[in-house]
Amino acid sequence: MTLCREVPHFSYEAYEFVCEAVSFTTDRLGRGKHEAEEPTSDKHVSGAELLFGVCDLAVREFGMMAPVVFRRWGIRTTGDIGLMVFNLIKVELLSKSDRDAPEDFHDLFDLQQALTERFELSLDSGHPMKRSDR
């Protein structure tokens, strides 16, 4: 991907993951592509919606290793994800509406905390549990 050569801060896998997260989020919100859908229907996903989708997909795909994977890819903040989104828009792999701006992603929440808060290590059972499992 030429984008990785031009903006080497983020890995190819990180950009690929963000693209997957866009699809994951639009599908989860019921805004994915459907054959019977009208061409004028709004498939737009806000910055906040995408960030929550990124976190949900990361936890689903990588579990407790999600923060480690993100750090390895160069992703530290929600603003980093926004930067990647707008880099993908520049190379026309994603599109945006007039209401989208990089600031939509800036410091929305603590990304590392969002990737770890669903898990709790416990010495009693010997297995990590999702907080939602309690």
Among candidate residues 51, 48, 46, 99, the one with its CA nearest the CA of residue 75: 51
The first and second tokens of residue 75, run together, are 């992703």
pLDDT tens string 90-113: 988 898 888 899 999 998 898 999
pTM for the model: 0.78
pLDDT tens string 5-59: 666 688 899 999 999 999 999 999 887 665 444 544 567 889 999 999 999 999 9
Name 87's Cβ contacts closer than 8 Å, sequence gap at least 6. Answer: 3, 7, 10, 15
Quote the Cα angle for 80-85-91, to 5°. Answer: 130
104, 46 Cβ separation under 8 angstroms = yes
